[in-house]
Amino acid sequence: MSLLRAAELPSLLGGELLGDPDAAFSRLAPLADADADSIAFLAHPRYRAQLDASAAGCVIAAPALREALAGRRAALLHDDPYLAFARLTQWWAARVRPAGVPGVHASAVVEPLARVHASATVGPLAYVGAGAVVGPHAVVGAQAHIGRDAWIGEGTRLMPRATLLDGCRIGARGIVHGGAVIGADGFGFAPDAGAGGAWVKIEQLGAVEIGDEVEIGANTCIDRGALADTVIGDGVKLDNLVQIGHNVRVGAHSAFAGCVGVAGSATIGRFCTAGGGAIILGHLELVDHVHISAATVITRSILKPGSYSGMFPFDDNAAWEKNAATLRQLHALRDRLRALEKRT
Amino acid sequence: MSLLRAAELPSLLGGELLGDPDAAFSRLAPLADADADSIAFLAHPRYRAQLDASAAGCVIAAPALREALAGRRAALLHDDPYLAFARLTQWWAARVRPAGVPGVHASAVVEPLARVHASATVGPLAYVGAGAVVGPHAVVGAQAHIGRDAWIGEGTRLMPRATLLDGCRIGARGIVHGGAVIGADGFGFAPDAGAGGAWVKIEQLGAVEIGDEVEIGANTCIDRGALADTVIGDGVKLDNLVQIGHNVRVGAHSAFAGCVGVAGSATIGRFCTAGGGAIILGHLELVDHVHISAATVITRSILKPGSYSGMFPFDDNAAWEKNAATLRQLHALRDRLRALEKRT
Amino acid sequence: MSLLRAAELPSLLGGELLGDPDAAFSRLAPLADADADSIAFLAHPRYRAQLDASAAGCVIAAPALREALAGRRAALLHDDPYLAFARLTQWWAARVRPAGVPGVHASAVVEPLARVHASATVGPLAYVGAGAVVGPHAVVGAQAHIGRDAWIGEGTRLMPRATLLDGCRIGARGIVHGGAVIGADGFGFAPDAGAGGAWVKIEQLGAVEIGDEVEIGANTCIDRGALADTVIGDGVKLDNLVQIGHNVRVGAHSAFAGCVGVAGSATIGRFCTAGGGAIILGHLELVDHVHISAATVITRSILKPGSYSGMFPFDDNAAWEKNAATLRQLHALRDRLRALEKRT
């Protein structure tokens, strides 16, 4: 069951091997759980204490830790241990996960005018609409849905029960997790004053255009554009339960954590991040390299790269109640302070 | 490929045509992207600068802009350009989208006791339970689910992978987007003191009752009632990833943006709105015409129509940290201010 | 259509019966809607006024209300009326809901190496992967998905369109509601400085391990662990649209309301609760019996049981705007207050 010999590590990941090249390892593990048969990693030398406490047989760590690594069965010195470990998980996953079998499962429904590449996989009970294109080595998981004229690039995987609706496109080497819905209608209605303000639907005539190397989390929604398309750039990573409104544009390599909501027509730059539960309102712009903290609400454009926050600091309930009640008088308190300043 | 002649606009939408009645247009587009073959609209005269910068061949705009529209191939003067454009998108969608084919797809499972109208469509791999009723011209999308004794009104469309569970009902001309789950159990448990506080499930015996002309977004959840039903009024519009708890009542023509959560037994009036990420707690009442800003938390009843807000204003991270830390001492600051006021 | 005779109540629920043992009831109802054929309950004597206003034929209430209950067709005195009513809903549901028929529906796809117990039900268009185990009396709902090597304990029900992905396990007597996705990849990426900061995927090699008596809401997501597993303890209750990140540990009998998000590697104790929309950041610890208010953001560990809050109090829009603007100067106001204090 030994899967990886230490001697293979430098060729797979780069870096310098210490210890026994013939040592073999059967697990990847966090430092705290690792045993003599495990490979672990230390992201940063400041976590040195975790290293000393770990029984890991092999550790990937920074060159500065050369001496601290002595005595392990093996170790890999690497300038970027976290990145090296990420690459190792990919190698590992390719070994332990069964490969998909190319072809269309007998229970899937593929419309006559769809084009599924011979090397692609369409899983059980999946649906592929007319005019859809499923590229080489792409995987349409069990019970997934590809709408009419939708397009899936080379090697992209739709996991079980993912949905890519009519006319939407995703590039190469992407992943769409289960329950994600790409291409539902954007939320657009005009009030009809003649009908007492009832809402009249604005049909959403655009689609969703997604670049290469994009990962989209479980139950995340990306709405189709009203007239033009909603656009997700290359390398974007969206976590679960994220909402992307119609005509949003997300720049390449931006990443949003779970439960983030982005309202319609927001334009997000490249390499931006948003923490869990952040809300970005619509019709505004964030430049590249803007980082939004969790649960922060962005209400206007941000034109300067940097980190932005806005959340009420939690406290024990009694303290919060007092401070929150006072907050509702804050403007009045300021006026009282001004008055005092004038008097003294 | 020309789809619409200018001369048809007044009969479709009302208003007064300017320019060449024989001019033909092949696209609807935002002003900024529009070309000579496009129809665009200007919601309000204050955006006049966008009009001047646009190459749109035809623009729908307010009568006050009559002179500014001179020189276009065509224009439509309309008292409510936004509403007129909404109607135009509906006309357009009806032309460019393939109509569903009535009938039940061979791969769908329709239980013997279900009643599917001859003019309705049941898509591939869809399920329709015993006793369910699918009305005239209704559409059950691919992989959608209609539970036992559920009911879908005339012309209502369940998009691919939408779910309407046992005994739940939706009226006419509605849309339920993919991944929406209508009729899952409400969240009801009683603590069992005799079992150390373990939760005992309260079975949810009610259903969900939805009116006509309702649109429900992707991955939105509406829970069934505990004893009585959860009720969604006519014309309500819910965006994606909205949570509606058990026994909530949402009044007609209210609209909630993405990621809104409404806790159990809240009663919302008519023509209310809630911005993205707003939370409305349970067992409270909002009267008609209450408008809640994004990310605002409603903790008590609102008995007066109007606009309500409550979110921490974002700032650059360093400024936020200082202000947030001070906020935790706000009540004490008030006391110090009072003390000063007494002294001076 | 009379379903329950009063005489049966004490043996089903405990407590003391008042009134006519032969009175029969056909409905469970809230006090306000109840009629002479209904059984209702009063959670607490302080709601006495609701009791007096109710036409309920039978009421379950505390012994202290013995006299107030006189004159009803029947009543049950019980030390914990809420718990008794919860148990009654279970009895009722078992009578009124059709039982599943054991066996595998002809339209389901069950891989050859899956093991489905003879007493289990696999519904229409469901999928059960190779190596998966479906226990005795378990139910796999229509269009649900059980991945390769996944495991469902005795009597657990996956509702229509629920998803339990490869290698994930859930214990006995659980419920997973529609659209829930258990076992999608956690959100883990390492930035590749050599590629300009593009994100490199960390394959998620762990799974999700769920205890007994767990209920998981519609469209809720629980991510698989990166290396070790994500763990949900016995008796945990998660409402709809909840996000649980990779390697989170939730202690037994904790309960989270709708739209809660818990970031990766958070460790939550036993008997904790979180209100709707609360966010718990990652890599922190909550001890047992911590209660988080709705929409509160937990940014650091909580080592003391109790109730914690942090939300901006809502106000009418104009008042909020003034106070929020002043909040952005709060630290400066404190400095001004200090200066005044020194002067006076």
How many CB atoms sit inside 10 A of residue C18's CB?
A: 20
pLDDT of residue C336: 95
Q: Are residues A141 and A258 in the same domain?
A: yes
CB contact under 8 A, A325 and C313: yes
Nearest residue to A152 via CA among A182, A178, A113, A125? A182
Which tens digits make up the pLDDT trace of B242-287?
A: 999 999 999 999 999 999 999 999 999 999 999 999 999 999 999 9
- Residue C2: is its pLDDT beyond 90? no
Q: What are the backbone angles phi and psi of residue C321, rounded to the nearest 5°?
A: -60, -45
DSSP A341: H
Fill in the amino acid letter for C95: R
Q: At what angle do helices C330-343 and B317-327 cross, to 10 degrees?
A: 50
Rounded to two decimals, the ipTM of the complex is 0.97
Nearest residue to C115 via CA among C130, C100, C101? C130
Q: What confidence tier does C343 reach under pLDDT thresholds 50, 70, 90?
A: confident
Q: At what angle do helices A330-343 and C317-327 cross, to 10 degrees?
A: 50
Q: Are residues B83 and B11 in the same domain?
A: yes
CA pseudo-torsion sign C172, C175, C178, C184: negative
DSSP B100: P
Measure in Å the smallest separation between the Cα of A232 and chain B Cα atoms. 18
Q: Are residues C221 and C301 in the same domain?
A: yes
Residue B323 lies in a domain: yes
- Whether the Cβ atoms of residue B4 and residue B39 lie closer than 8 Å to each other: yes
Nearest residue to C276 via CA among C221, C236, C239, C251? C239
| C339 CA to centre of own chain | 51
Residue A224 in tokens: 């189709």
Interface test with C, best of A330, A333, A344 (most C CBs within 10 A): A330
- Whether the Cβ atoms of residue A225 and residue A207 lie closer than 8 Å to each other: yes
**Residue B45 burial by Cβ neighbours in a 10 Å radius (0-12, 13-18, 19+):** middle
Q: How many angstroms separate the CA atoms of A108 and A124, rounded?
A: 5
How big is the CA angle at C156 (ends C152 and C161), to the nearest 5 degrees?
A: 80
How many CB atoms sit inside 10 A of residue C133's CB?
A: 18
For B100-104, B321-325, C137-141, C298-302, which range has the lowest pLDDT when averaged over its residues?
Answer: B100-104
Nearest residue to B147 via CA among B134, B162, B128, B160? B128
Chain A residue numbers with beta carbons less than 8 Å from the beta carbon of B215 are 185, 201
Q: Are residues C196 and C285 in the same domain?
A: yes
Chain B residue numbers with beta carbons less than 8 Å from the beta carbon of A297 are 277, 294-295, 311-312, 314
Q: How many angstroms separate the CA atoms of B115 and B121, rounded?
A: 12
Q: Are residues B244 and B318 in the same domain?
A: no
- Whether the Cβ atoms of residue B119 and residue A122 lie closer than 8 Å to each other: no
Residue A127 in tokens: 């649906």
Residues 115-154 of B with CB under 8 A from C: 125, 127, 129, 143, 145, 147-148
Chain B residue numbers with beta carbons less than 8 Å from the beta carbon of A226 are 30, 89
Strands (E) across A38-188 are located at 38-41, 58-61, 74-77, 103-104, 109-110, 115-116, 121-122, 127-128, 133-134, 139-140, 145-146, 151-152, 157-158, 163-164, 169-170, 175-176, 181-184
How big is the CA angle at C122 (ends C121 and C125), to the nearest 5 degrees?
A: 150
- Residue C96: is its pLDDT beyond 90? no
Name residues whose C-beta falls within 8 Å of residue B270's C-beta, 6 or more positions apart in sequence.
Answer: B233, B251, B252, B253, B254, B288, B289
Q: For residue A71, give its domain range.
A: 4-96
How many CB atoms sit inside 10 A of residue C95's CB?
A: 8
Q: Are residues C140 and C18 in the same domain?
A: no
CB contact under 8 A, B309 and C314: yes
pLDDT of residue B45: 86
Chain B residue numbers with beta carbons less than 8 Å from the beta carbon of A109 are 105, 107, 124-125, 142
CB contact under 8 A, A205 and B96: yes
Q: What confidence tier does C133 reach under pLDDT thresholds 50, 70, 90?
A: very high
Q: Which of C145, C246, C253, C291 is catalytic?
A: C246
Q: How many domains does chain C contain in total?
A: 3
pLDDT of residue B300: 98
Q: How many angstroms separate the CA atoms of B265 and C32, rounded?
A: 13
Q: Are residues A117 and A64 in the same domain?
A: no
Torsion of CA B115, B121, B125, B128, to 10 degrees: -20
Residue A71 in tokens: 């005595």
Q: Are residues B193 and B293 in the same domain?
A: yes
Q: How many angstroms separate the CA atoms of B60 and B333, rounded?
A: 56
- Whether the Cβ atoms of residue A147 and residue A132 lie closer than 8 Å to each other: yes
Residues 215-234 of C with CB under 8 A from A: 219, 221, 223, 226-228
Q: How many angstroms separate the CA atoms of A101 and A105, rounded?
A: 9
Q: How many angstroms separate the CA atoms of C100 and C338, rounded?
A: 71
How big is the CA angle at B224 (ends B222 and B226), to the nearest 5 degrees?
A: 135
Query: Which chains border C (3 or more CB–CB pairs < 8 Å)?
Result: A, B
Q: Are residues A323 and A301 in the same domain?
A: no
Q: How many angstroms separate the CA atoms of C245 and C265, rounded?
A: 7
- Whether the Cβ atoms of residue B145 and residue B126 lie closer than 8 Å to each other: yes
| B269 CA to centre of own chain | 16
DSSP annotation string for C61-109: E-GGGTTTTTTSSEEEE-S-HHHHHHHHHHHHHHHHSPPPPSEE-TT-E
Q: State the catalytic residues of A.
A: 246
Chain B residue numbers with beta carbons less than 8 Å from the beta carbon of C253 are 196-199
Residue C78 in tokens: 């019980």
Name residues whose C-beta falls within 8 Å of residue C71's C-beta, 6 or more positions apart in sequence.
Answer: none
Which tens digits make up the pLDDT trace of B172-185?
A: 999 999 999 999 99
Name residues whose C-beta falls within 8 Å of residue B205's C-beta, 6 or more positions apart in sequence.
Answer: B225, B226, B227, C28, C89, C92, C93, C96
Local structure of A63: helix, strand or coil: helix
- Whether the Cβ atoms of residue C314 and residue B308 lie closer than 8 Å to each other: yes
Respond yes or no: is residue C145 known to be catalytic: no
- Residue C295: is its pLDDT beyond 90? yes
Q: How many angstroms separate the CA atoms of B70 and A212, rounded?
A: 44
Rama region for C192: left / alpha / beta (φ>0; ψ in -120 to 50; rest): beta
- Whether the Cβ atoms of residue A75 and residue A61 lie closer than 8 Å to each other: yes
Can you give the CATH number for the domain in which A20 is found?
3.40.1390.10
Residue A21: beta bridge partners? none
Residue B125 lies in a domain: yes
Nearest CB among B30, B258, B271 relative to A187 is that of B258
pLDDT of residue C296: 98
- Whether the Cβ atoms of residue C56 and residue C35 lie closer than 8 Å to each other: yes
Mean pLDDT of B207-221: 98
Nearest CB among C219, C275, C312 relative to B312 is that of C312
Can you give the CATH number for the domain in which C168 is found?
2.160.10.10
Chain C residue numbers with beta carbons less than 8 Å from the beta carbon of A315 are 308-310
CB contact under 8 A, A317 and C336: no
Q: Are residues A304 and A326 in the same domain?
A: no
Mean pLDDT of B154-180: 98
Which tens digits make up the pLDDT trace of B237-247?
A: 999 999 999 99
How many CB atoms sit inside 10 A of residue A219's CB?
A: 32
pLDDT of residue A2: 60
Q: Are residues A127 and A112 in the same domain?
A: yes
Mean pLDDT of B164-169: 98
Q: Which of B78, B177, B246, B291 is catalytic?
A: B246
Question: Which chain A residue's Cα is nearest to C247?
Answer: A30
Give per-10-residue mean pLDDT for chain A (344 aa): 87 97 96 95 90 96 95 96 97 87 97 97 98 98 98 98 98 98 98 94 98 98 97 98 98 98 98 98 98 98 98 98 97 95 86
Chain B residue numbers with beta carbons less than 8 Å from the beta carbon of C294 are 263, 279, 281, 297, 299
Which tens digits make up the pLDDT trace of C225-242?
A: 999 999 999 999 999 999
Name residues whose C-beta falls within 8 Å of residue B11's C-beta, 6 or more positions apart in sequence.
Answer: none
Q: Are residues C197 and C120 in the same domain?
A: yes
Nearest CB among C143, C148, C200 relative to A143 is that of C143
Nearest CB among B199, B279, B326 relative to C237 is that of B199
Which tens digits make up the pLDDT trace of B61-111?
A: 999 999 999 999 999 999 999 999 999 999 999 988 887 789 999 999 999
Mean pLDDT of C266-287: 98
Which tens digits make up the pLDDT trace of C187-224?
A: 999 999 999 999 999 999 999 999 999 999 999 999 99
pLDDT of residue B2: 60
Question: What does pTM read for this prediction?
Answer: 0.97
SS3 for A66-104, per residue?
A: CHHHCCCCEEEECCCHHHHHHHHHHHHHHHHCCCCCCEE
Nearest residue to C255 via CA among A66, B333, B189, B223? B189
Which tens digits make up the pLDDT trace of B8-30?
A: 999 999 999 999 999 999 999 99
- Whether the Cβ atoms of residue A74 and residue A18 lie closer than 8 Å to each other: yes
- Chain B touched by A325 (CB under 8 Å): yes
- Whether the Cβ atoms of residue B38 and residue B25 lie closer than 8 Å to each other: yes
Residue B174 lies in a domain: no
